[in-house]
Amino acid sequence: METTLVSQSLDRVEADAVVVLLFEEETAPSELKNSSAWIDELRASGEFTGKTGELAVQHLPSGFKAKRLAVAGGGKRDKSDASTLRRAVGTAVRALKQKGVKRLAWWLSAGADPEAAVEGAILGNFEPDRYKTSTDAKSLEAFILVAPDSARAAFERGKILGDAQNFTRELVNEPANVMTPTLLAERAKAMAAEVGLEFEVLDEPRMRQLGMGSLLGVSQGSAEPPALIIVRYKPAQPPKTKDHLGLVGKGVTFDTGGVSIKPADGMEKMKYDMAGGAAMLGTMRAIAQLKPAIPVTALIPAVENMVGSKAQRPGDIVTSLSGKTIEVLNTDAEGRLILVDALTYAQRLGCTHLVDAATLTGAIVVALGNVNIGVFTNNDALLARVLAAAKAEGEKSWHMPLDDDYKDLLKSAFADLANIGGRWGGAISAAYFLKEFAGDTPWVHLDIAGTAWLDESKPFLAKGPSGVAVRTFTRLALDW
Ligand code: BES
Ligand code: ZN
Ligand code: ZN
Please write the tens of the pLDDT for every residue from 406-456.
Answer: 999 999 999 999 999 999 999 999 999 999 999 999 999 999 999 999 999
pLDDT at 137: 78
Q: Ligand 2: distance of its center to the CA of 361 in Å? A: 8
pLDDT at 466: 98
Which strand ranges, in their side-by-side order, compose the sheet holding 17-22? 2-6, 142-146, 103-107, 17-22, 68-73, 55-59
pLDDT tens sequence across 119-129: 999 999 999 99
Angstrom distance (rounded) from CA 35 to CA 37: 6
pLDDT at 255: 98
Question: Measured between alpha carbons, how far apart are the two ends of the chain, in Å?
Answer: 32
pLDDT tens sequence across 86-98: 999 999 999 999 9
Angstrom distance (rounded) from CA 8 to CA 5: 9
Q: Ligand 3: distance of its center to the CA of 359 in Å? A: 6
Sort 424 into a burial class: Cβ within 10 Å, 0-12 / 13-18 / 19+.
Answer: exposed
Q: Ligand 2: distance of its center to the CA of 270 in Å? A: 9
The pocket of ion ligand 3, defined by CB under 5 A, consists of 252, 255, 273, 335
The pocket of ion ligand 2, defined by CB under 5 A, consists of 255, 332, 334
Say whether 280 sits in a helix, a strand or coil.
Answer: helix
pLDDT tens sequence across 13-62: 999 999 999 999 888 899 999 999 999 999 999 999 999 999 999 999 99
pLDDT tens sequence across 305-327: 999 999 999 999 999 999 999 99
pLDDT at 138: 86
Angstrom distance (rounded) from CA 321 to CA 212: 5
Is the CB of residue 332 below 6 angstroms from any atom belonging to ligand 1? yes
Is the CB of residue 256 below 6 angstroms from any atom belonging to ligand 1? no
Which of 262, 360, 361 to probe ligand 1 with, by most ligand atoms within 8 A of CB? Answer: 361
Q: Ligand 1: distance of its center to the CA of 360 in Å? A: 6
Is the CB of residue 362 below 6 angstroms from any atom belonging to ligand 1? yes
Q: Decide if 336 is catalytic.
A: yes
Say whether 443 sits in a helix, a strand or coil.
Answer: strand
Q: Ligand 3: distance of its center to the CA of 252 in Å? A: 6
Is the CB of residue 339 below 6 angstroms from any atom belonging to ligand 1? no
pLDDT at 27: 87
Position in ligand 1 atom list of the atom nearest CA 453: 8
> H helices within 126-151, ranges in order?
none
- As a whole number, mean pLDDT of residues 352-372 equals 98
Is the CB of residue 426 below 6 angstroms from any atom belonging to ligand 1? yes
- As a whole number, mean pLDDT of residues 195-200 equals 98
Please report which confidence band the pLDDT of residue 267 belongs to, taking 50, 70 and 90 as the band edges. Answer: very high
- Among residues 96, 172, 171, the alpha carbon closest in space to that of 139 is found at 96
Angstrom distance (rounded) from CA 98 to CA 119: 19
Beta pairing class for 55-59 and 68-73: antiparallel
Beta pairing class for 142-146 and 2-6: parallel
Angstrom distance (rounded) from CA 260 to CA 267: 13
Angstrom distance (rounded) from CA 397 to CA 403: 19
Q: Decide if 269 is catalytic.
A: no
pLDDT at 134: 87
Which of 254, 331, 332, 370 to probe ligand 1 with, by most ligand atoms within 8 A of CB? Answer: 332
Say whether 299 sits in a helix, a strand or coil.
Answer: strand
- As a whole number, mean pLDDT of residues 340-361 equals 99
Whether residue 136 has pLDDT greater than 90: no
Angstrom distance (rounded) from CA 137 to CA 341: 42
Q: Which residues contact 27 (CB under 8 A, 6 or more apart)?
A: none
User: Is the separation of the CB atoms in 451 and 370 below 8 Å?
Assistant: yes
Q: Which of 77, 189, 262, 396 is catalytic?
A: 262
User: What type of residue sits at position 312?
Assistant: Q
Angstrom distance (rounded) from CA 253 to CA 174: 9
pLDDT tens sequence across 185-196: 999 999 999 999
Q: Which of 68, 336, 471, 475 is catalytic?
A: 336
- Among residues 152, 128, 143, the alpha carbon closest in space to that of 92 is found at 143
Is the CB of residue 161 below 6 angstroms from any atom belonging to ligand 1? no
Beta pairing class for 2-6 and 17-22: unpaired
Helices 152-173, 114-125: inter-axial angle, 10-degree rounding: 30
User: Is the separation of the CB atoms in 251 and 158 below 8 Å?
Assistant: no
Q: Ligand 2: distance of its center to the CA of 371 in Å? A: 21
Whether residue 282 has pLDDT greater than 90: yes
Mean model confidence pLDDT for the chain: 97
pLDDT at 443: 99
Residue 422: how many CB atoms within 10 A of its CB? 12
Please report which confidence band the pLDDT of residue 140 belongs to, taking 50, 70 and 90 as the band edges. Answer: very high
- As a whole number, mean pLDDT of residues 335-339 equals 99
pLDDT at 135: 79
